[in-house]
A and B are shown apart, each in its own frame.
With several copies, the nearest count.
Chain A
């Protein structure tokens, strides 16, 4: 499979997970695994009203391509979609989507799990959490990089 078939997106538009699932599937794919990160109403005991994501977009896209390439190296998979939203997101909106099509289920699920872990570790995107008035940047784990 040609790597150029990977779908990599860092976008301010809402993530269309259904479209991503349809895009990655081939007739030889028996399995489509997906992980969607969703904005939830609390984080470490604090209420969350909404989030704002900021990305270093060109580097984030490069890192997402790297992650997709690692997934291909480690598992026999057909196609990968890695997408991250930027800008303001309300509760319930999808912030990140990892969608993997593969001939078999184990590969799809394992690669999907690896994909979201790597995204959280290496992709230059930052989250600012807002409660009803103030916002605060979430600082990641520096040892994870």
Chain B
């Protein structure tokens, strides 16, 4: 199934794209999708901080099960204000 990955801030710059299509097994979790993403872009795993993840605009943990067409956002700890 296809997951629409959106990247923000440092992760967007490391990957050089703000959107990436990611093929995952049906029933894949956010954790599994992140593993696959880091295989394709190893630089993502080499930062001094861990990415946060949101599915369809809601923050989710690594165990969240993805569905075809989900928007998976990947971003560093927030620093607005």
A residues near B (Cβ < 8 Å) are: 37, 53-56, 58-60, 62, 84, 95-96, 105, 116, 119-128, 137-142, 144-145
B residues near A (Cβ < 8 Å) are: 6, 8-10, 12-13, 48-50, 52, 54, 57-59, 73, 75-81
Select one of B8, B50, B57 contacting A142, CB under 8 A: B50
User: Interface residues of A: mostly helix, strand, loop or mixed?
Assistant: mixed
Count contacts between A and B, CB distance < 8 Å: 85
What's the Cα separation between A101 and B48 when bound, in Å?
34
Q: In the bound complex, do residue A141 and residue B80 qualify as a contact, i.e. CB atoms below 8 Å apart?
A: no
Q: In the bound complex, do residue A126 and residue B81 qualify as a contact, i.e. CB atoms below 8 Å apart?
A: no
What's the Cα separation between A54 and B77 when bound, in Å?
13
28 A-B pairs within 8 Å (CB atoms) are namely: A37-B81, A53-B80, A56-B73, A58-B57, A59-B73, A84-B81, A95-B81, A120-B78, A122-B78, A123-B78, A124-B54, A124-B73, A124-B75, A124-B80, A125-B80, A125-B81, A126-B8, A126-B9, A126-B10, A126-B75, A126-B79, A137-B10, A142-B49, A142-B50, A142-B52, A142-B77, A144-B77, A145-B78
Q: In the bound complex, do residue B79 and residue A140 qualify as a contact, i.e. CB atoms below 8 Å apart?
A: yes
Residue of B nearest to A58 (CB): B57
Residue of A nearest to B6 (CB): A56
What's the Cα separation between A84 and B79 when bound, in Å?
12
The interface residues of chain A lying within 8 Å CB-to-CB of B13 are 137
The interface residues of chain A lying within 8 Å CB-to-CB of B57 are 58-59, 62
The interface residues of chain A lying within 8 Å CB-to-CB of B48 are 139
What's the Cα separation between A2 and B37 when bound, in Å?
43
Residue of B nearest to A129 (CB): B79
Residue of A nearest to B52 (CB): A145
